[in-house]
Structure 1
Amino acid sequence: MKRITTVLLLGTAAVALAQGTAFLTIGSGSTTGVYFPVATGMAKMINDAGGGVRANARSTGGSVFNVNALATGELDAAIAQNDIVYYAYKGTGLQAFQGKANSKLRTMAVLYPEVLHVVARKDAGINSMADLKGKRVVIGDLGSGTEQTAKQVLEAYGLNEGDLGQALRVSPAQGISLMQDKRADALFYTVGVGASAISQIAQTVDVKLVPVSGNQASALIKKYPFYVRHNIPANSYKGIGATVPSVAVQATLVTTTNVPDDTVYKAMKAIFSNEAELKALNPSLASFSYEKAVKGLPAPLHPGALKFFKEKGINVK
């Protein structure tokens, strides 16, 4: 029986190899964020297309982990903040990338704006960024894009980790628990508007969103041009009845030159040919367009993606 099983397994592998099936592991983020459902949906679209590429999505620690895993080959593609991809490509910005530029990183498409949410418990007495001083603040998982964003925004307001009562480096899911249990006063999370983690907090705790605006936001954008101003619409979350100004980076689908051109091209066709189906994966993708998908690239387009966008009539090089 063992011998038959082995032959069958070898036969399956041989058939897959003969058919030229390629396999993509796509890195995402926390299961409570937007990366995970988007990556999972994209993997399903690739598998449903039956174009000779099979894919699966993995929950990960987020952007920094993802680009490092792309470098080691642990992941074949991933969703990551465009600022983090840029730092990794250039070998700058973060200690994890300093002097270790990953010139093999390539962009597949810019997906949607990731908006900084600074969520505070209403009973914590936090009405502005300055009020975070001395408070217990979740600044994102260690090595996440949110952690880096939190540091840069605090800097723009003349604050640093040392000014906080406690800088809590935990996952979004852990951050929710800390907020619910009154063990955290505020939480930073860079994520698409409508993320389940923020919705869950708002459903269970009286919260407010702290604005990121004014001269401080201008200074942030001047120093870090990958940021853009972005408003969180009123009623995006329970209890948030007014529009809240903030800043955003961009969620980007990335890969490396190690993935063959044809594999990326087939994956692009499966994911992006039907814009309506893509946008149905998550509300964050509502503003996606081919034109926006090639703007603000943190690394060059992969040749397979370049071929796809040219076929769609987009002016890319």
Structure 2
Amino acid sequence: MHKNTKKLGAVLGLGLAAAALAQGTTFLTIGTGSTTGVYFPVGTGMAKLMNDAGGLRANARSTGGSVFNMSALASGELDMATVQNDIAYYAFKGTGVSSFEGKANGKVRAMGVLYPEVLHVVARKDAKINSIADLKGKRVVTGDLGSGTEQTARQVLQAYGLDFGDLGQQLRVSPAQGISLMQDKRADVLFYTVGVGASAISQIAQTVDVNIVPVGGNQAASLIKKYPFYVRYNVPAKSYKGINATVPSVAVQAVLVTTTATSEDAVYRAMKATFGDEKAMKAIHPSLAANFSLSKATKGAGVPFHAGAIKFFKENGITVK
């Protein structure tokens, strides 16, 4: 009996210690995107840096992408997320995307800009598509239902005088399903707004003869004028197999966001663990290696910054406008 009591006391002691430890730890769920994209490895890498720093327990989750992430932040299902800057803006204002209409989330806050997300319009060479105008009547993967890519595809088509109704078939599927459709000749073109070097694009280029359709000239100019989130961005030659020349396109920005429901202390600590270690951030993924810097991290977020992020940037001599 005495032995059992001692055992019970030890178990209770361990339980209390665990509870005390848990009390001092902030748990964060970070929404990312498809496992074949860039958000997932970037989110996983940042979660590891947060966990290694101590005091935070971060977990990166694969999701349907930007639009899903903004809705999940609003419901409290997610604490932080990687999203396109335009989608963050639409959620904040309650416009632009049907699921956000009339549901402005004024609690959305930026932590920092990560890297440009480049519009890839990947076409099978045998489909003979050299311009966005050629997409009329074609079978086009426009991104997962509710993804940032779908929103970008709509806006780019509009710049060329087209809409989804002009396509032969609009395929609203995940990037992984899109790869299969391209490989099986069941899709002619795939839209994907993603960092250069994404495994999904590489996978298609390795298995199918493809070309990247340019977005440039007057159409790019009108797109940037109408939607100030966009910037011109050239996909460098040799970025993917068979792409031997630079291709003009447009990009939005990938940004790490949270809401005012996450404490100033948790955001500040998360920022120190990630944005505070530029070398470790660049090592996470080529998109960060080529583009990430603390000096760029406050430019083009699309939404106001979180107090914890402002504190972090101020300590590093950066004023947030």
Indicate whether the TM-score tops 0.5.
Answer: yes
Provide the residue aligned with 1:255 in structure 2. Answer: 258
- In the TM superposition, residue 16 of structure 1 has moved relative to its aligned partner by 2.2
The 8 Å contact of residues 34 and 62 in structure 2, kept in 1 or not, is answered as: yes
Provide the residue aligned with 1:63 in structure 2. Answer: 66
What SS is found at the alignment partner of 1:96? helix
* Runs of at least 5 residues in structure 2 that lack an aligned partner in the other structure: none
1:186-205 alignment runs, 5 A limit: 186-205=189-208
Amino acid in the other structure paired with 1:301: F
Provide the residue aligned with 2:21 in structure 1. Answer: 16
1:112-127 alignment runs, 5 A limit: 112-127=115-130
- Partner Cα distance (1:9, 1:162) in 2: 62
Of 160, 166, 189, which aligns to 2:169? 166
- Partner Cα distance (1:185, 1:6) in 2: 62
- Partner Cα distance (1:6, 1:200) in 2: 51
- Partner Cα distance (1:161, 1:125) in 2: 20
The 8 Å contact of residues 138 and 167 in structure 2, kept in 1 or not, is answered as: yes
- In the TM superposition, residue 17 of structure 1 has moved relative to its aligned partner by 3.7
- In the TM superposition, residue 158 of structure 1 has moved relative to its aligned partner by 0.4
- Partner Cα distance (1:176, 1:6) in 2: 52
Is 2:74 aligned against 1:81?
Answer: no
Q: Kindly, what percent of the aligned residue pairs are identical?
A: 74
Is 2:185 aligned against 1:178?
Answer: no
Is 2:30 aligned against 1:30?
Answer: no
Is 2:282 aligned against 1:313?
Answer: no
- In the TM superposition, residue 12 of structure 1 has moved relative to its aligned partner by 5.3
Is 2:239 aligned against 1:236?
Answer: yes
What SS is found at the alignment partner of 1:250? strand
What SS is found at the alignment partner of 2:106? coil
Of 75, 81, 92, which aligns to 1:72? 75
Is 2:265 aligned against 1:267?
Answer: no
RMSD of the TM alignment (CA)?
1.6
Is 2:53 aligned against 1:49?
Answer: yes
Amino acid in the other structure paired with 2:266: T
Is 2:224 aligned against 1:221?
Answer: yes
The 8 Å contact of residues 253 and 301 in structure 2, kept in 1 or not, is answered as: no
Of 152, 155, 163, which aligns to 1:152? 155
Amino acid in the other structure paired with 1:181: D
- In the TM superposition, residue 266 of structure 1 has moved relative to its aligned partner by 0.4
Structure 2 vs 1, CA of residues 302 and 14 (structure 1 numbering), >3 Å: closer, same or farther? same
Larger Cα Rg: Structure 1 or Structure 2?
Answer: 2
What SS is found at the alignment partner of 1:290? coil
- Partner Cα distance (1:274, 1:173) in 2: 32
- Partner Cα distance (2:131, 2:36) in 1: 26
- In the TM superposition, residue 14 of structure 1 has moved relative to its aligned partner by 1.3
Structure 2 vs 1, CA of residues 190 and 16 (structure 1 numbering), >3 Å: closer, same or farther? same
What SS is found at the alignment partner of 2:300? coil
- In the TM superposition, residue 254 of structure 1 has moved relative to its aligned partner by 0.1
Structure 2 vs 1, CA of residues 239 and 12 (structure 1 numbering), >3 Å: closer, same or farther? farther
- Partner Cα distance (1:297, 1:273) in 2: 18
- In the TM superposition, residue 11 of structure 1 has moved relative to its aligned partner by 3.0
Amino acid in the other structure paired with 1:161: F
- Partner Cα distance (1:114, 1:256) in 2: 22
- Partner Cα distance (2:15, 2:227) in 1: 52
What SS is found at the alignment partner of 2:179? helix
- Partner Cα distance (1:273, 1:307) in 2: 12
- Partner Cα distance (2:123, 2:177) in 1: 15
Provide the residue aligned with 1:207 in structure 2. Answer: 210
Structure 2 vs 1, CA of residues 9 and 193 (structure 1 numbering), >3 Å: closer, same or farther? farther
Q: How many residues align?
A: 314
Amino acid in the other structure paired with 1:235: K
* Runs of at least 5 residues in structure 1 that lack an aligned partner in the other structure: none
What SS is found at the alignment partner of 1:54? strand
Question: After superposition, what is the alpha-carbon deviation per residue over 1:165-198, rounded to whole angstroms, capped at 9, x for unaligned?
Answer: 0000000000000000000000000000000000
Is 2:300 aligned against 1:296?
Answer: yes
Question: After superposition, what is the alpha-carbon deviation per residue over 1:48-97, rounded to whole angstroms, capped at 9, x for unaligned?
Answer: 111x1110100000000001000000000000000000000011111111
- In the TM superposition, residue 7 of structure 1 has moved relative to its aligned partner by 4.6
Structure 2 vs 1, CA of residues 180 and 15 (structure 1 numbering), >3 Å: closer, same or farther? same
- In the TM superposition, residue 10 of structure 1 has moved relative to its aligned partner by 4.3
